[in-house]
Copies of this chain bind each other. A is one copy, B any other.
Amino acid sequence: MQQIKNGGLEVEAAMKQLQHLPFEDLGYARIDHHRSLRSGMPEVIFCPGKSEPQILEIFGSLLKSGVNIIATRAEHSTFEAIIQVYPEAKYHQPARIITLEQNQIERRGLVVVVTAGTADVPVAEEAAITAEMLGNKVERIYDTGVAGIHRLFACRELLDTARVIIAVAGMEGALPSVIGGLVRTAVIAVPTSIGYGASFGGVAALLAMLNSCANGIGVVNIDNGFGAACLASRINRIGSLEDEAK
């Protein structure tokens, strides 16, 4: 709001203009172009609950606005529909993300993505691909469970150079606690729905992470690799924001 240069406009009118400008109304969706312009971030389409034609239309609308695009939780069939129209789009298996990079992304600041097991990789990849699209450098360390903790220690050096660490784990979700005790930087914990029985679709891991004895861990929703990458990106760019502000 404070960015509006207000001349002779009355409040009432300014408010109206303000309200109508920053989004495009497709009927079923109101695309917030403003956010993207404001933040330099790509626009994101969360695919579940949207029909294929809807996704295509939003995709097209975003493309016209000139930004880079991420579509998360995308079925491969959705990608096949998009590739017909936008052949530059890419599909990232197993992250289930479609990306289209119109403007080259400069990557700064290291985000390290760690998983406890192999089955956590799809969520980790959602985080990694998203973080890269949001302008972060990304390194991956996969399958380092706490029951074989020496596998994690082998990567100690890489962990120490990270600005942000995203720790992805299902089952008992102990990985972020162990990492949080090893490093001094911010740790983002992503519980995954990997497990069975009393893992309750990731609830066991979620609770373990919220109760971590290693203080200073921020937790996101179960399987929310995307959200973890967004938070990592918000953290990573704190310095840059201040530089811009100067």
Seen from chain A, the residues whose Cβ lies within 8 Å of a Cβ on chain B are 1-2, 4, 6, 9-12, 14-16, 18-20, 22-23, 27-30, 32, 34-35, 38-39, 44, 46, 48-50, 54, 116-119, 121, 142-151, 153-154, 156-157, 163-164, 171-174, 177-178, 180-181, 184-188, 191, 193-224, 226-227, 230-231, 233-235, 237-239, 241-242
A203–B201 CA distance with the chains assembled, in angstroms: 13
Query: From residue A192, how far is it (CB to closest CB) to chain B in Å?
Result: 9
Whether B235 contacts A49 by the Cβ 8 Å rule is no
Whether B218 contacts A2 by the Cβ 8 Å rule is no
Whether A177 contacts B217 by the Cβ 8 Å rule is no
Contacting A15 at CB < 8 Å: which of B1, B28, B214, B220? B1
Whether B235 contacts A148 by the Cβ 8 Å rule is no
A213–B226 CA distance with the chains assembled, in angstroms: 12
Chain B residues, Cβ within 8 Å of A215: 44, 147, 226-227, 230-231
A191–B242 CA distance with the chains assembled, in angstroms: 29
Given contacts A19-B150, A174-B178, A213-B147, contact A49 B194 (CB under 8 A): yes
Most buried by B among A181, A211, A220, A231: A211
A38–B142 CA distance with the chains assembled, in angstroms: 23
Whether A221 contacts B196 by the Cβ 8 Å rule is yes
CB-nearest residue of chain B to A14: B11
CB-nearest residue of chain B to A4: B11
Contacting A184 at CB < 8 Å: which of B15, B219, B234? B234
Query: From residue A78, how far is it (CB to closest CB) to chain B in Å?
Result: 15
Chain B residues, Cβ within 8 Å of A145: 181, 213
Whether B118 contacts A29 by the Cβ 8 Å rule is yes
Given contacts A184-B39, A220-B210, A238-B239, contact A121 B172 (CB under 8 A): no
Whether A143 contacts B180 by the Cβ 8 Å rule is no
Most buried by B among A54, A196, A202, A224: A196
A218–B191 CA distance with the chains assembled, in angstroms: 12
Whether B146 contacts A181 by the Cβ 8 Å rule is yes
A146–B6 CA distance with the chains assembled, in angstroms: 26
A2–B11 CA distance with the chains assembled, in angstroms: 9
Chain B residues, Cβ within 8 Å of A181: 145-149
Whether A148 contacts B118 by the Cβ 8 Å rule is no
Given contacts A11-B11, A151-B30, contact A171 B213 (CB under 8 A): yes
